[in-house]
Every structure is written in structure tokens, then in C-alpha cells.
Copies of this chain bind each other. A is one copy, B any other.
């Protein structure tokens, strides 16, 4: 049988309210009985029932985290940071994944509502009108990480990477390496982050007086297969690109795989730059130059923003706003100065 404060009360010959006070370290209990009760509670293996407490307190100290899939390495890092931060503040995390299916999005929101979470964090989703409406009906703070949404709302805030800036920096870097024919392989079209990255890419070209060539911009899908399929479209051009910026690292990885199969040497013949800096970016070969998103920081900020919106004093100095954080370029091996040497010479040279 599970032991409750009543059981302790009986054992200690006091009322259950005294036990409750003693266990919450209230000053309204004599030091003696307090110590005695706390000791007893330990001995009896008492564990407070969070549900009963929440029922009367009106707070669960629980947040819901909604992801598309936790197997996405970017999302996993963000979630890890959310969980760590939640732990620091005495909160726990209910994890739900939607697989981008609206049926599961709906189920997730309903379940989080029934569980009476104090706040919700949504990561990397396209938040449709229906979904957003659902979320807002929860009447708890909502923080969206890298998620596009229709419109602002009083209780919904966001933490986003500066997509435009990131793509701008990355493209500018490639231009600095003398590249003039720079491709862009996108994510899913109509996703706002893809569009923003496109915009940053175009802006960098424009500032360097490089004509934008729509042929150099091909769509992907945010996964490796997108990059893999994109490369042939670029190589078939009369004047193919010498460098490619990819929507994200997985796209870049797929593109590099295609390059290898086509016998194109990266970075000698083609520079490749990704976006995200997933852990694997440094382990692919060649290792991937990429625009790193501050994933841990974003998770931490989102969690603290939720706390702040809930009214937790410990996080009151946190911005309650739509925060935009800047990424930074991490230069690795997949990018290099434009050269005119062929692959063959290079490969031989490397092995002598």
C-alpha cells in the first residue's frame, strides 16, 4: 500500500494537516514535531502525490514538448537542453511527437491539456492555423522554436534562429572564397525558414553584384534524399555551380553523397555548406562547413521563457518576446577557395 500523509499522521499521532505542514517545512510547526514527522516520512517511504498536489495548487510543474520526431538530431539537441533546464527548475517534461500528422497534433494538444501542463514548447513544426488555434485554446504559455506560425497572439512567443542572417553569412563566406556560381538547395518549399534562408542567400549575392540565377536554386525536402536528388539538376547546367549552400546539414550530407557517386570531389570541385551543425557535421568526410544554430541556448531560452510566462520568479528577467538568435559559421573541410584544378591531379597528389 502507498503511504499518504494520513498514514504518517496516524503513526505520529498528529493530524494530517500538521504532517502536511511539516513536510513542506512550514514555520507553523514546532521544530520537534517537524523533525519527528520528516524522519517518519523517510522511514515509511513516503512520496508526495504530485497529482493531488497539483489538483489543489493549480499547477503541475510540467511542460509539454511537441516535436515532429525526436530522431531528428537538431531537435534532439534542443529537447535535451529543454529537459536539462526544466530539471534545473524542478519541472518535468512530457514528450509528444506528431510526425507532422495533424491527427497526432490534435491528439497531442488534447492530451497535454488533460494533463494540465503549465506550458508548451513546440519545435520545428509548421504550425498551421488549426494547430495554432488548438494550442491557444490551452490557455497556457506556448513557445515555438523555429516554427512558423500564422500570426502573433498574446500567449504565444517564439525563439527562432535568424535564418536570413545565417544564409547571408554563409553565402558571403562562399563569395569570399571567390565562388561566383553558388547554388542553393532548399528545404520543403513554402516553409518560411526555407524562404528566409533563400532571402539571405539572394541578399548576399546582390551585395556582391552577382546576378541571381533561378536555375541555381533547386528545391529539396530537408532530408538527405533531397540533397541527393538536387545535385544532378545543378551539374547538368551549362555553367554549373562551384559551391552550394544547403537548407540544412542533412541536405548537405545527401548532396555530398551524390557528389561522391558522380565522382565530384568536395571541396576541390565543389564547396558545400550546410545549416544547423548537427553533431554529425563534424564526422562526415569531408567534415561539413555549416551555419551552427545555438541549439542548447535555444532550448534553454524557450524553457525559461515558459517559466517566465507562467510567472516563476526565478525566470522573471527573461525576455517575453519573439526572440531571434544568430547562428555562427563553422568552417570545416567541405568548403574551399575556388580553384581550376581538376579532380584527378588533386586525388593523386593527396595520396603521394
Contact = CB atoms under 8 A, between A and B. Distances in A.
Interface of A: 2, 45, 47-52, 54-55, 60, 62, 65, 69-71, 73, 76-77, 79-80, 83-84, 87, 92-97, 104, 107, 110-111, 113-116, 137, 139, 224, 253-254, 256-257, 260, 263, 279-280, 283-285, 343-344, 347-348, 350-352
A64 to B, nearest CB: 9
Contacts of A116: 49-51
B87 A80 contact: no
Within the oligomer, what is the number of copies of this chain? 2
Contact of A70 (B83, B115, B344): B83
Given A70-B76, A285-B260, A351-B263, A94 B92 contact: yes
Majority secondary structure of chain A interface residues (helix, strand, loop or mixed): helix
B60 A71 contact: no
Contact of A284 (B79, B93, B283, B350): B283
A60 B70 CA distance: 23
A55 B254 CA distance: 50
A285 B283 contact: no
Nearest to A91: B111
- The 7 tightest CB contacts between A and B, nearest first, are A51-B51, A50-B114, A95-B95, A347-B351, A47-B113, A71-B76, A50-B115
Nearest to A81: B71
A65 B253 CA distance: 31
Most chain B CB within a 10 A radius of its CB, from A71, A80, A87, A257? A71
A87 B104 contact: yes
A47 B114 contact: yes
Contacts of A253: 283
Contact of A71 (B80, B263, B351): B80
Contacts of A343: 351
Contacts of A69: 80
Nearest to A261: B285
B71 A110 contact: no
Contacts of A49: 55, 114, 116
A87 B66 CA distance: 13
B55 A83 contact: no
Nearest to A256: B285
Contacts of A51: 51-52, 54-55, 60, 115-116
A338 to B, nearest CB: 20
A76 B75 CA distance: 10
A115 B92 contact: yes
A62 B69 CA distance: 19
